[in-house]
Structure 1
Amino acid sequence: MSSLATGVGRVLIAVYGILALAATGRSVVQIAEKFSFAPFSYTLSAIAAVVYIVAMIALIVPGRFWYRVACVTIVFEMTGVLVVGTLSLIDRQLFPDLTIWSYYGMGYAFAPLVLPVAGLWWLRKHHRAAAGVEPVRRGATDDAARSAE
């Protein structure tokens, strides 16, 4: 089974790792110091941290199961960024303090908005290799069929 941790995949994994550390650190500090001020925002920060950690692991570990985990996690991440980003623009009272996904990740140079798009592109590009399905080479099947006759 092939790993997704090659080429651009390594960059994606590194960025997921950086965001995992940032979101984890942010949520721990927010929850420990001022949870009662914005519990919804701080809980979302913690959820984002878990999402980034799981996505990073899923991109590192080869196999069908982890490929599927990566797909689900990254789709969840994209949904979270879009929903939280939109809600933070529409109803600022919902988010008295920022999360990593507020304003589509503006506080993180919009990396939370771009990252799931790049991650889904990478997964789509490498779905056969990651799922353990070897691509069929043209001509190889024809040669095998001729030699069997």
Structure 2
Amino acid sequence: MSGRTGIRRDAEHTDRTGAEQGRGFRVVIMLAYFIFAISATARSLVQILTEFDQAPVAFVLSLLAAVTYIVLAVLVSRPRVPITAALTVVGIELAGVIGVGLLSIAVPALFPRPSVWSHFGSGYGYVPLVLPIIAGIYLLHQRRRGVKHAA
């Protein structure tokens, strides 16, 4: 066995290990989006169908959050994640969380009942604020590595 063969094997092992870690992280992000897609959709639909008159803005914004979670869950679950599309939706999600978070503080009368994104997702442990940041960093890292799809 020559020295080059050993180096090549080490490089292949590193590439494989990095890909496996990327795939594992992608699965965690995908699961988070699926969980939020289900919970936000169920919550917003029940609220819209039973209590719409109490907080229409909050409930419609919760449904909008649910739609972004559904789209991202589907995009990230694809074997070849379309990074540009996913980054676009992550940007919309982050803008929504920040915009609704600020609006819920500035005009609390619009939010007599909380939405998924009100107060920056405080009702969900701020995960709605942190998740798009983590997903965005992951996707940008994949793009920087030259990966046309995430792991």
Normalised-by-shorter TM-score class:
0.7 to 0.9
Higher helix share: 2
Greater relative contact order (CA < 8 Å, ≥ 6 in sequence): 1
Q: What TM-score do you get using the length of structure 1 for normalisation?
A: 0.80
Amino acid at match of 1:23: A
Partner of 1:44, secondary structure, is: helix
Q: Residues 66-123 of structure 1, C-alpha deviation per residue, up to 9 Å, x if partnerless?
A: 3222111100000000000111111100212110001111110100000000000010
Structure 1 position 17 matched with structure 2 position 34:
yes
Q: Following the alignment from structure 1 to structure 2, what is the Cα–Cα distance between the partners of residues 69 and 48?
A: 17
Q: Deviation of residue 63 (structure 1)?
A: 4.2
- C-alpha RMSD of the superposition: 2.0
Q: 1:107 aligns with which of 123, 137, 147?
A: 123
Q: Following the alignment from structure 1 to structure 2, what is the Cα–Cα distance between the partners of residues 97 and 61?
A: 35
Name the residue aligned to 1:33: 50
Q: Deviation of residue 130 (structure 1)?
A: 3.0
Are the aligned partners of 1:62 and 1:130 in contact in 2 as well (CA < 8 Å)? no
Structure 1 position 67 matched with structure 2 position 69:
no
Structure 2: tracts of 5 or more residues without a match: 1-18
Name segments (4+ residues, structure 1) moved above 6 Å: none
Structure 1: tracts of 5 or more residues without a match: 133-149
Amino acid at match of 1:26: R
Name the residue aligned to 1:129: 147
The percentage of counterpart residues that share the same residue type is 36
